[in-house]
Amino acid sequence: MASTTKGDCGPAILLLADGTVFYGRACGAAGTATGEVCFNTSLEGYFEVLTDPSYAGQIVTMTYPQIGNYGIDPADVQSAFPGDIHRAPATPALRGMVVRDMCRTPSNWRSTLSVPEYLEQQGIVGIEGVDTRALVQHLRDHGAQMGIVSTEEFDLAVLADKLAAAPQLVGENLVQTVSCFKPHSFTADDLPAEHEFAFSACATRRAPYRVVAYDCGVKRGILEGLVRAGCSLTVVPWNTPASEVLSVNPDGVFLSNGPGDPDAVEETYAQVQELLGKVPVFGICLGHQMISLAAGAQIEKLKFGHRGGNQPVMNLLTRRVEITAQNHGFGLVFPSLGALVPELSGGVAAHPANGDLRFWVERGIAPVVENERFGRIRLTHVNLNDGTAEGVQLLDHPAFSVQYHPEASPGPTDAHYLFTAFTRLMDGEPDYLNIDIASDRLHGWSF
């Protein structure tokens, strides 16, 4: 191995909580790490995955067989800010990485270092040579589960003891480990010059929309998407009181993505309860779950979650299918929001017994429930793979949310229109979600 591009790499091991073992080679930092083992189905964008704060507490398996072939450009980092704004500046939040084949000799004009070099620099344990098809199939059959990866300990009994003593993902507030700890601005001046070759000039407006963005582990690409839509952002910590937000009289409030169990982030959704109805609100991913919890809904842990840049979602309002970028392991139980309003739900009076929301896709209906706290709430988006809820709209208050990421870092641009929808909501347009996503999907790109 020393005479190949792989170099003189040592052995590594991955042990799952159910006792399943995978052996491979080290391709990152030396050490031992525990976390929930999950998988991402993206064909590209591994660096954005590496630096997405939503992966805090997880060991990520990439399903694409070769990772690292185009290297890394630090300009693509998704951890929002360096310096004294975040508790762990520029450090990836994930615990480990699992791949089939790791490329150590990248070829790309933007690349400045390889993925193995980056993992070693950042102290992230990596393992390659794993049969990732078998691992992903196992996780799909048995569900995402805790695991331990090591390049220094190979005694299964010792590894099992360490894994048993590790903190669980459910019930742990990981948002507080990745959020900023003081407010800061993000404007057009903060857009990376390295990306100018791909984008046209961002939207200009005589008076930019003044938006307060809750940082629950926000990706930088999402902030950039908001700015390009015409927003000037004040980014605040995850537990900022609603009274402080309302005191600055913003045009809107944005609730970001973030890691872990949403039920453990009570200090955020308690603030959302106070914000809804008083200011336009847009939430994505964890922000979608925060709105749902604020409305008294139930959140469930999905068997193996949605992670990747190729998740099909039906927009029930436009009847168009969006290919979306997603990263979450929990989801909204839509019936828990309230009873159906038959006259607004195609005459249907009862939620489908099996909980599969593709029931509404087949009928071409965007159903509405009556919520005890916030009135009428409409289901707007459904995942076509498993029939779970992907978006809701409050009809009696200016607020909407989606479970996925609209900014294509990494992933497609089909859901870009949601940034525009947020600005239309702040402008008071009643039909703000009625946007032709086919014409909008490439908006802002220069090629």
Q: What is the pLDDT of residues 6-21, one digit of tens each?
A: 777 899 999 999 999 9
Residue 121 labelled as part of a binding site: no
Cα–Cα distances in angstroms (integers) from residue 134 to residues 13, 129, 137, 139, in the given order = 15, 12, 5, 9
Which is more confident, 413 or 235?
235
Q: What are phi and psi of 312, to 5 degrees?
A: -80, 130
Exposure string of 338-350, with b = 16+ CB inside 10 Å and e = fewer, is bebbeebbeebee
Q: Which residues pair with 326 in a beta bridge?
A: 308
Residue 257 labelled as part of a binding site: no
| CA 437 to the chain's CA centroid | 21
Residue 266 has pLDDT above 70, yes or no: yes
Lowest mean pLDDT among 102-106, 204-208, 217-221, 349-353: 204-208
How far apart, in whole angstroms, are the C-alpha atoms of residue 354 and residue 94? 34
Residue 391 labelled as part of a binding site: no
CB 139 within 8 A of CB 147: no
Residue 367 has pLDDT above 50, yes or no: yes
Residue 181: pLDDT band by 50, 70, 90 thresholds? confident
HSE of 66 in the Cβ direction (CA atoms, 13 Å)?
A: 9
Question: 105-110, long-range: CB within 8 Å, 24+ apart, which pairs?
Answer: 105/5, 106/68, 106/69, 106/70, 106/71, 106/72, 107/69, 107/70, 107/71, 108/70, 108/71, 108/73, 110/70, 110/71, 110/73, 110/75, 110/194
Residue 159 labelled as part of a binding site: no
The DSSP-derived string for 160-186 is: HHHHHHSPPSTT---HHHHSBSS-EEE
How far apart, in whole angstroms, are the C-alpha atoms of residue 305 and residue 313? 14
Residue 441 has pLDDT above 80, yes or no: no
Residue 89: pLDDT band by 50, 70, 90 thresholds? very low
Residue 233 labelled as part of a binding site: no
Average pLDDT over residues 392-402: 98
Residue 289 labelled as part of a binding site: yes
Residue 373: pLDDT band by 50, 70, 90 thresholds? very high
Q: Give the three-class secondary structure for 194.
A: helix
Which residues does the annotation mark as catalytic?
A: 285, 405, 407
Looking at every residue in the chain, the average pLDDT score rounds to 92
Domains annotated on the chain, with CATH: 11-165 (3.50.30.20), 175-440 (3.40.50.880)
CB 317 within 8 A of CB 380: yes
Average pLDDT over residues 395-423: 93
pLDDT in the model for residue 4: 78
CB 28 within 8 A of CB 294: no
User: Dihedral of the CA atoms 284, 287, 291, 292 (nearest 10)?
Assistant: 80
Average pLDDT over residues 193-206: 66
Token pair belonging to 15: 């042990």
Residue 286 labelled as part of a binding site: yes
Residue 14 labelled as part of a binding site: no
pLDDT in the model for residue 295: 98
The DSSP-derived string for 371-432 is: ETTTEEEEEEEEETTT--EEEEEETTTTEEEESSB-S-TTS-SGGGHHHHHHHHHHTT-TTT
Residue 318 has pLDDT above 60, yes or no: yes
**pTM to 2 decimal places:** 0.94
